[in-house]
Amino acid sequence: MKLSQFKFNLPSELIALQPTQNRDEARLMVVDRKTGTIEHRIFKDLVDYVKDGDVFVINNTKVFPAKLYGEKEKTGAKIEVLLLRELDARRPGP
């Protein structure tokens, strides 16, 4: 698998900035892996896709801005910084 397979255009107006008032009405995109078709549903429709033996994995991580863009003061060269992990604030870095 190549990293380039994960690149796609996601218009900023489609990115939720706030959760919906009723969380079960959040948008849900369903992709049929066999046909490649895409359905746009809402989260409470998820039960229509669950079968006996299916497993749910709960991810309680939070997203933070991980890519920073900048410019060097002296040369004007463009730079990009990728944050990979948060360092423990109580101890000095490596």
Contact 41, 30 (CB under 8 A): yes
Residue 31 pLDDT more than 60? yes
Record the pTM: 0.46
Q: Which long-range contacts (CB under 8 A, 24 or more apart) does 13-18 make?
A: none
Residue 25 pLDDT more than 80? yes
> Looking at residue 47, what is its pLDDT?
92
Segment of 12-26, 38-52, 54-68 carrying the highest mean pLDDT: 38-52
Residue 43 pLDDT more than 90? yes
* Nearest in space to 67 (alpha carbons), one of 86, 77, 78, 82: 82
